[in-house]
Amino acid sequence: MTLTRPTWVALLLATIMLAAVTLAITYGQTAMPWSDSLQSAAGFTTNTPADFIVGQLRAPRTYTATLVGALLACSGVLLQSVARNPLASPDILGVTQGAAAAAVASIWAFGNTSSLALAPAAVAGALLTSALIVGVGWSRGIQPMRLIVAGIGIGFVASSITTYLLTAIPEHLAPQAYLWTIGSTNARVWEHVAIAAAAVAVTIPLALWLERRLRVLEMGDDLASGLGVRPVRLRLAAIALGALAAGLAAALTGPIGFVALVAPAIARRLVRTEGIALVPSIVAGAALTAVADLLARELFSPTQVPIGLFTAAIGAPYLLYLLHRARGLRS
């Protein structure tokens, strides 16, 4: 059986992801035997220091980062497919900022900083923000450019709300709230892994179900309608699912920028397609955050650097490249 190019790309990216996860589990300031590390990371008790260092510190953080990368990439590829624009990621459109504002508002109102408590608020904020973006950007249907401009504006408003709430939060909660807004995988526990795994189990199958219909939509609304696809409903469903995935990711680690922007681009470049490449994008996002988290944990050890610093180091130049390319096309 001959494997298709998307399958080969997904397998290659999955290999990179697994290598990064394995290295993150087995490598660190404290040396651990590979066998003990891998057993502890798999949940088997070995009655060694690896039970704590790997089982309670490294493994939950690594797994959470990897799963969050998959969620962000899923969100990015859905939104980019709907908007038909590589800039349409949840952090550019303001969906992530809306989730952050809602989560910080929840901390301010209820004083609870656990991910389990923040997840509903972050998801609600992401969905509300996406609804506002669609409402503002609507003009006889979803207009991609209006959608992006509306998202950027609403994102600025959400960021301003977050900044204000940080000044109003009680002093004993302000450090946790601030750390949450910059995105961090530090001090993740198995609760975060369980929530992330459940989020992936819900969103990825739904995204795969939408992928085939989104491929039809790429051929044009008229042809898609003739084949039984309802373009408006499909776009709204894809936006809602993208917002759900982004909100769940933000609830687990806070906003991690540029992953949703860059991962689909990497997948499209490797697959050599201008259309949707969902599975390669998801695996690329997981690999990207796994590598970035390892660098954030070890590069400046013992100082813990936010993972967003390393994803931005990759994503910001790519964003500048997109803007330069768009300028070249206009001229």
Q: Is the pLDDT of residue 327 over 60?
A: no
Is pLDDT larger for residue 138 or for residue 64?
64
Q: Over 70: is that where the pLDDT of 328 sits?
A: no
Supply the CATH number for residue 125's domain.
1.10.3470.10
pLDDT at 209 over 50: yes
Structural domain count, the chain:
1
Answer yes or no: is pLDDT of 251 > 80: yes
Determine the average pLDDT of the residues in 40-63. Answer: 82
Mean pLDDT of all residues belonging to the chain: 85
Over the chain, what HEC string results? CCCCHHHHHHHHHHHHHHHHHHHHHHCCCCCCCHHHHHHHHCCCCCCCCHHHHHHHHHHHHHHHHHHHHHHHHHHHHHHHHHHCCCCCCHHHHCHHHHHHHHHHHHHHHHCCCCHHHHHHHHHHHHHHHHHHHHHHHECCCECHHHHHHHHHHHHHHHHHHHHHHHHHCCCCCHHHHHHHHHCCCCCCCHHHHHHHHHHHHHHHHHHHHHHHHHHHHCCCHHHHHHCCCCHHHHHHHHHHHHHHHHHHHHHHHCCCCCHHHHHHHHHHHHHCCCCCCHHHHHHHHHHHHHHHHHHHHHCCCCCCCCHHHHHHHHHHHHHHHHHHHHHHHHC
112 pLDDT above the threshold of 70: yes
Specify the pLDDT at position 95. 92
Range of the domain at 325: 5-330
Query: Which of 289 and 315 is assigned the larger pLDDT?
Result: 289
Does residue 66 carry a pLDDT above 90? yes
